[in-house]
Chain A
Amino acid sequence: MNRKPSRLVLLSLEIGVPLLLIAAYALWAAPRNDLYFPPLDVILTRFVADWFGPRFFSDIVPSLRRMGTGYAIALVIGVSAGVLLGLSRRTRLAVLPIVDFFRALPPSTLLPLTMIVLGVDDSAKVTLIAMVCLFPILLNTIAGVSSIDPTLRETADVFGITRRNQLLHMVLPGALPAIFAGARTAMSLAIIMMVISEFVAATNGIGFAIWTARRSFDISAMWAGILVLGCLGYGLNLLFEALERRVLAWHHAARQKSE
Chain B
Amino acid sequence: MLRVEGLKKNYGSVTALADITAEFPTGTFTSVVGPSGCGKTTLLKCLSGLMPASAGSVMLGNTRVTRPPEQMALVFQDYSRSLYPWMTVRQNVAFPLRNKRLDPKEIDRRVDQSLTSVGLGHAMDRHPWQLSGGMQQRTAIARAIAYQPEILLMDEPFASVDAQTRADLEDLMLKLKSELGMTIIFVTHDIDESVYLGDRIVVLGSVPTRVKETLDVALPNPRDQLATKGEPEFLRLRSYVYTQIMRDRAPAAL
Chain A contact residues, CB within 8 Å of chain B: 149, 151-152, 154-155, 157-162, 165, 169-170, 173-174, 176, 250-251, 253-254, 257-258
Contact = CB atoms under 8 A, between A and B. Distances in A.
Contacts of B98: 161-162, 165
A174 B81 CA distance: 12
Contacts of A169: 84, 87, 95
A250 B127 contact: yes
Given A254-B129, A257-B129, A158 B74 contact: yes
A174 B128 CA distance: 14
Given A250-B85, A254-B85, A160 B95 contact: no
Contacts of B96: 159-161
B95 A158 contact: no
Given A151-B78, A169-B95, A158 B72 contact: yes
A155 B70 contact: no
A254 B67 CA distance: 32
B129 to A, nearest CB: 4
B118 to A, nearest CB: 17
Contacts of A162: 98-99
Nearest to A153: B50
A257 B68 CA distance: 34
A250 B127 CA distance: 8
Contact of B81 (A152, A250, A254): A152
Contacts of B67: 157
Nearest to A257: B129
A158 B85 contact: no
A170 B99 CA distance: 15
Nearest to B68: A158
A157 B48 CA distance: 10
Q: How large is the interface on B (under 10, 10 to 19, 20 to 34, 35 or more residues)?
A: 20 to 34
A79 to B, nearest CB: 17
Given A253-B129, A254-B129, A258-B129, A160 B82 contact: no
- Among A154, A158, A174, A250: residue with most chain B CB under 10 A: A158
A158 B73 contact: yes
B99 A161 contact: yes
A250 to B, nearest CB: 5
A151 B129 CA distance: 17
Contacts of B95: 159, 161, 165, 169
A159 B73 contact: yes
Contacts of A159: 68, 73, 95-96, 99, 143, 147
Contacts of A170: 84
Interface string B35-64: 000000000010010100000000000000
Nearest to B143: A159
A157 B51 CA distance: 11
Contacts of A155: 74, 76, 82
A254 B87 CA distance: 12
B86 A250 contact: yes
A213 to B, nearest CB: 47
A173 B84 CA distance: 9
B98 to A, nearest CB: 6
B76 A154 contact: yes
A165 B129 contact: no
A165 B97 CA distance: 11
Contacts of B143: 159
15 contacts: A151-B81, A154-B45, A154-B50, A157-B50, A157-B67, A158-B50, A159-B68, A159-B73, A169-B95, A170-B84, A174-B86, A254-B85, A254-B127, A254-B128, A257-B130
